Amino acid sequence: MKNITLALGLFVSAFAATAADISKDTDNFYNSDKVTQQKVTFKNQYQMNVVGNLFIPKTLNQNTKNPAIVVGHPMGAVKEQSANLYAQKMAEQGFVTLAIDLSFWGESEGKPGHLISPEIYADDFSAAVDFLSTQAYVDPRNIGVLGICGSGSFVISAAKIDPRMKAIATISMYDMGSAFRNGLNHAQTPAQRAAFIKSAIEQRFAEFNGAEKAYIPGTVNKLDESTPAIQREFFDFYRTERGGYTPQGEKEELTTKPMLSSIGKFMNFYPFNDIETISPRPVLFVTGGQAHSKEFSEDAYQRAGQPKELYIVPGAGHVDLYDRTDLIPWDKLISFFTLNLNTNT
């Protein structure tokens, strides 16, 4: 347990930085009167049930083929946290949208819950494309994907091997592999990384022998004087009425707490390798000018092939773009998907 505590401390301290006030003009639980919502379930290639919220514009002509967008939630969150907001706002613009729970999270299948599995996460997006492609009112040639935070790296991973994803956008993207290998700004030392891996393996073996599951503090449950600024930023969303949500059957405040024993799988996750092979499909990277995660969008942009765009929202932090409806660049997203999900091509 000593090594586990040490590793968790190293992880949290690696994410210490300055964060701005992000409590204003938020609307995570937005409920649109311009769209209909339907809960849907479909299988991924691992034969696991993936659950999503399907949003259809009330004005949609269901006798024609329409463009669609799959939306993925932040890492460790659920579809009710940020993804539903984006899905509804884009559905209001005429797109069929589908906000999904990644496997092992929310209402989707996967035991034990909160397991880290980036390969399966990426497959969930392809499974969502499978599902949408079978809907009579969706044009299977014009399906885009949008990933928020950690899902940004998962949609990149998926798009590299799924050419059906015609347009790819990321919001406040985290490269979950680099974040766990290196920390922000590569501040984590090799010794710290080794301690983290050792703690994860020790916990894995303890659970094999019957020990209780242990979770890393993706978001702390309370603040004190020593809480780093970025943890305060996440706390303001995940642990308050602003964005806090407890999925059915979960324990209170357990979102954003991945299993420690599985966290090493992120160490082998390199989503930006071969990112240029997505070209000539377009990629849009959206990040805040003050976001602690900006380095990941900048890195991906440098590596990606054309066409690509890095769109920086002035003054915005990382979590701002989860639900700050005054800062989220809706016009940029609408124009990107409207241009690239063209039913005539």
CATH of the domain at 120: 3.40.50.1820
Read off the tokens for 190.
Answer: 């090799």
- Mean pLDDT (whole number) for 95-113: 97
Please state, in angstroms and rounded to a whole number, the distance separating the CA atoms of residues 257 and 270: 21
Distance CA 216, CA 192 (A): 15
Flag whether 285 is in a domain.
yes
Q: Give the rounded distance of the alpha carbon of 239 from its chain centre.
A: 18
144 and 344 Cβ atoms separated by less than 8 Å? no
Task: Indicate the number of domains in the chain.
Answer: 1
The vertex-244 CA angle with 101 and 8, nearest 5°, equals: 85
How crowded is residue 224: how many other Cβ atoms within 10 Å of its Cβ? 6
Distance in angstroms (rounded) separating the CA atoms of residues 104 and 121: 9
Location of structure tokens 């004005």: 59
Q: Is residue 345 part of a domain?
A: no
Which pLDDT score is estimated for 253?
A: 67
- Domain of 60 in residue numbering reads as 2-340
pLDDT > 90 in the chain, percent: 88
Residue 78 lies in a domain: yes
Judge whether 176 lies within some domain: yes
Asked if 83 and 330 count as a contact pair (C-beta separation under 8 A), the reply is no
pLDDT band at 2 (very low <50, low <70, confident <90, very high): very low
In a domain, 266, yes or no: yes
Q: pLDDT category, 12, cuts 50, 70, 90? A: very low
pLDDT tens figures, 260-307: 999 999 999 999 999 999 999 999 999 999 999 999 999 999 999 999
Task: Give 26's DSSP letter.
Answer: B
pTM check: above 0.85: yes
In-domain check, residue 182:
yes
Burial of 8 (0-12, 13-18, 19+ CB in 10 A): middle
pLDDT, the chain, mean? 92
Residue 114 lies in a domain: yes
The per-residue pLDDT for range 246-260, each reduced to its tens digit, is 988 776 667 999 999
Is residue 116 domain-resident? yes
